[in-house]
Amino acid sequence: MAKTIQAVRGMNDILPTQSASWQYLEAVLRDVVHAYGYSEIRLPVMEKTELFRRSIGEVTDIVEKEMYTFEDRNGDSLTLRPEGTAGCVRACMEHGMLHNQVQRLWYKGPMFRHERPQKGRYRQFYQIGVEALGMEGPDIDAEMIFMTTRMWRSLGLKDVTLQVNSLGSPEARTTYRSALVEYLSSRAGELDEDSRRRLDSNPLRILDSKNPEMKAIISTAPQLPDYLDSDSRVHFETLCALLDDAGISHEVNPRLVRGLDYYSRTVFEWVTDQLGAQGTICAGGRYDGLVEYLGGRPTPATGFALGMERLIALLEAGGSELPGNRPHVYLVLGGEQGTRSGMVFAEELREAVPGLRIQTNCGGGSFKSQFRRADRSGAVIALVVGDDEAMRGQVTFKPLRGAGEQEVLSRQDIAGRLSQVLDLQLNRMAEE
Ligand code: ATP
Ligand code: MG
């Protein structure tokens, strides 16, 4: 027999046992962004490579070593999107969505990065991203943070903390960059290979190094907040005040940075210590220079993206009971009349009890084997329609998980009885 084919390394199947958790998470997060008046934008998973080279930047980890880039049959260089901002901004520019108007947008979907797969780090992973274009004040930055705070609250997540910083204006950052390079050059002998390489190309990224030996060197480096221009300082102080007003605690992390020139002012990250090295669940900030950099008119912008796999892992680590999509009812069928009549009855029930999940036995089988399937399905109730029941217009109602006695009811009483028993469950589903 030929060797079976497996999935691409770092690309996961989301199995039927997991998909309900994903749907739940997506629904909660979608409701939160909608509560702030954001609209969904759906974008291609592939873009011209040039877009990412220009918008993410040549000297970043993503562009240097993580992109899935290939030539299509026409010889055009395409790339599977490693993140969503570039495509979103491209679409807004292409469709004239930035002239005399602001945009509040969100998207979700798979992103692709050729990284070393490990827990919380995959080659295909899912993000939800939010972008607001055309607004420059700290108020919209605060809104981003309010929104994420509300997401964690809606999910019952507690072990997350907010770090914020300001990158200042591009000019202020240039001055800071020189000071940083001067300091790091004076300790060049102690730098690791990655940092030595970045010293020329992207020195601010060194502050973000995950190498513990670099941390000591970084801790005594010049600090970005000491180099802020006064407008950016006011912007940042106002943001922090807005967060205080809303009772959102935040830690100013002077080493929280983004390396590229079109980033400015606000950066923030939500981090947790529950997920080991992959502790950032959400990252965001301003990218006021990007639209102009891509050839549009200057347009301030801010946004964030969160990692779905890490959020699910965090919910599981906190012992949250995530919903499943098991049926409520399993319908056991016997005999020819029973089977035909039962199939129709199941349709009537689905009509009568909105939200009811009823799985019909298909493919026959003895009562014994059908009850085994009923058990395995996770249903809480089995309904039985055999030839006898069909003839009398009755149904046998059998609780499966120790919840009461078996009874024989007339067909018209089943919907009511199910509603009683399942009331709690259906209510919970409605809330989801
Ligand atoms: P990291 O420092 O962990 O590599 P990043 O700075 O590359 O993260 P962003 O580009 O800011 O990440 O992406 C936003 C979020 O998307 C991250 O905070 C994380 O939750 C998630 N994320 C990023 N890369 C991956 C990945 N390879 N697998 C799973 N989730 C990811
Ligand atoms: Mg990364």
Asked whether 83 lines ligand 1 (CB < 6 A), one says yes
Q: In sequence order, which residues have a C-beta less than 8 Å from that of residue 369 and are 6 or more positions away?
A: none
Compute the distance from residue 34 Cα to the ligand 1 centre, in Å: 24
Q: In sequence order, which residues have a C-beta less than 8 Å from that of residue 367 and are 6 or more positions away?
A: 332, 334, 384
Position in ligand 1 atom list of the atom nearest CA 281: 20
What is the CA 50 to chain-centroid distance, rounded? 26
CB-CB contact of 395 with 414 (8 Å) = yes
The neighbour count for residue 30, using CB atoms within 10 Å, is 15
Asked whether 163 lines ligand 1 (CB < 6 A), one says no
Position in ligand 1 atom list of the atom nearest CA 280: 18
What is the model's pLDDT at position 212?
Answer: 87
Place of tokens 């993410």: 56
Question: From CA 297, how far away is CA 292, in angstroms rounded?
Answer: 5
* Residue 427 vs residues 74, 298, 342: alpha-carbon distances, Å: 54, 49, 26
Position in ligand 1 atom list of the atom nearest CA 208: 2
Q: In sequence order, which residues have a C-beta less than 8 Å from that of residue 23 and are 6 or more positions away?
A: 325
Which of 88, 125, 144, 211 maximizes ligand 1 atoms within 8 Å of its Cβ, making it the mutation to test the pocket? 125
Helices 138-155, 230-245: inter-axial angle, 10-degree rounding: 30
Position in ligand 1 atom list of the atom nearest CA 62: 7
- Give the closest residue (by CA) to ligand 1 atom 6: 283
Amino acid at residue number 163: Q
Query: Which ligand minimizes its atom distance to the CA of 125?
Result: 1
Compute the distance from residue 160 Cα to the ligand 1 centre, in Å: 16
pTM: 0.90
Half-sphere exposure for 327 (CA within 13 Å, toward CB)? 20
Per-residue pLDDT of the chain (432 residues; tens, 9 = 90+): 789 999 999 999 999 989 999 999 999 999 999 999 999 999 999 999 999 999 988 888 888 899 999 999 999 999 999 999 999 999 999 999 999 999 999 999 999 999 999 999 999 999 999 999 999 999 999 999 999 999 999 999 988 999 999 999 989 999 999 999 999 999 988 999 889 888 888 898 898 888 888 888 999 999 999 999 999 999 999 999 999 999 999 999 999 987 677 789 999 999 999 999 899 999 999 999 999 999 999 999 999 999 999 999 999 998 887 877 889 999 999 999 999 999 999 999 999 998 899 999 999 999 999 999 999 999 999 999 999 999 999 999 999 977 678 999 999 999 999 988 886 555 544 444
Radius of gyration, CA atoms only, the chain = 28
Compute the distance from residue 110 Cα to the ligand 1 centre, in Å: 12
Question: From CA 268, how far away is CA 282, in angstroms rounded?
Answer: 8
CB-CB contact of 82 with 56 (8 Å) = yes
Question: From CA 378, how far away is CA 349, in angstroms rounded?
Answer: 19
Position in ligand 1 atom list of the atom nearest CA 282: 18
Query: Which ligand minimizes its atom distance to the CA of 160?
Result: 1
Question: From CA 338, how far away is CA 384, in angstroms rounded?
Answer: 9
Asked whether 122 lines ligand 1 (CB < 6 A), one says yes
Query: Which ligand minimizes its atom distance to the CA of 267?
Result: 1
Query: Which ligand minimizes its atom distance to the CA of 81?
Result: 1
What is the CA 178 to chain-centroid distance, rounded? 36
405, two tokens: 């006695």
Query: Residue ranges of the alpha helices (H) in 156-208?
Result: 170-186, 193-201
Which of 65, 310, 312 maximizes ligand 1 atoms within 8 Å of its Cβ, making it the mutation to test the pocket? 310
